[in-house]
Amino acid sequence: MARHGGRGWYGRMVAAALGVTVAAAATSVWSAQAGQTGGGSAGRGAPARSTAPAAAPVSAVIAHASDRGEHAVNITIDDGPDPVWTPRVLQVLRDNGVKATFCMVGTQAEAHPDLVRQVVAAGHRLCDHTVSHDTTMDTKPPAYQSQQIVDAERQITKASGGVRPMYYRAPGGAFTPYSRKLAASHGMRPLGWNVDSKDFERPGTDAVVATVKRELANGPTILFHDAGGDRSQTVAALGTLLPWLKQQGYAFGFPLR
């Protein structure tokens, strides 16, 4: 799995809450997902539930397969939420009736809790992508890895209103045996990818589409991004790829837990 660089933008981003009102019907979705992940629904601005039951441990083996079987794909979206691009990604997913897994950076989730709740309300799943997206964290001490993973889990859970992330994706694939076991002990399955769309490099929409089509034989989990700069090519590529995948007979699922 390739490492993705150029992530210093995280430290430069200004935290600003986005005034998005989530429909009241979302409450039932939050409750259902909270039941899966050991959290619960809560009102806006509610503190993280430190007394919530611990999530059940899961496998520490890096997941790639889809829960919908062999002829299925898992759409995964990294690095957000972002106030410009996450709503546009959500819209193209909604237009195509597709659910995805959003691998969120803790500081971004903390800055944009309404977007985190929008993601949950739409039936998508959450994934812990660490506090600060340090792609060298596999070279750092266990205490640092723990802080990055556990603090991000707390930030995302608080921002969502009590819904825990179900997966952990190491920045740039920088997993270690320790980080995988730690995440799994918190109920977060380590999550890899099979197809890197290369959308982060902004090679052009056609190039992103061609890369996914070419690499799809590698496996079902496809990596896209909704933050880190201009993601218009990602939105456009998803608008082309999702209908095409349906035409090819693919189902859309979530990574195995």
**Closest to 125 in 3D by CA, of 66, 56, 176:** 66
Tokens of 34: 């909270």
Q: Which residue in 82, 134, 225, 226 is the catalytic one?
A: 225
- Our answer to whether residue 225 is catalytic in this structure is yes
Task: Report the C-alpha gap between 156 and 154 in whole angstroms.
Answer: 6
- Our answer to whether residue 196 is catalytic in this structure is no
Q: Which residue in 78, 82, 128, 199 is the catalytic one?
A: 78
- 136: DSSP letter: T
Burial class (CB in 10 A: 0-12, 13-18, 19+), 25: exposed
Task: Report the C-alpha gap between 62 and 180 in whole angstroms.
Answer: 8
- 143 strand-pairing partners: none
CB 225 within 8 A of CB 79: yes
The catalytic residues are 78, 225
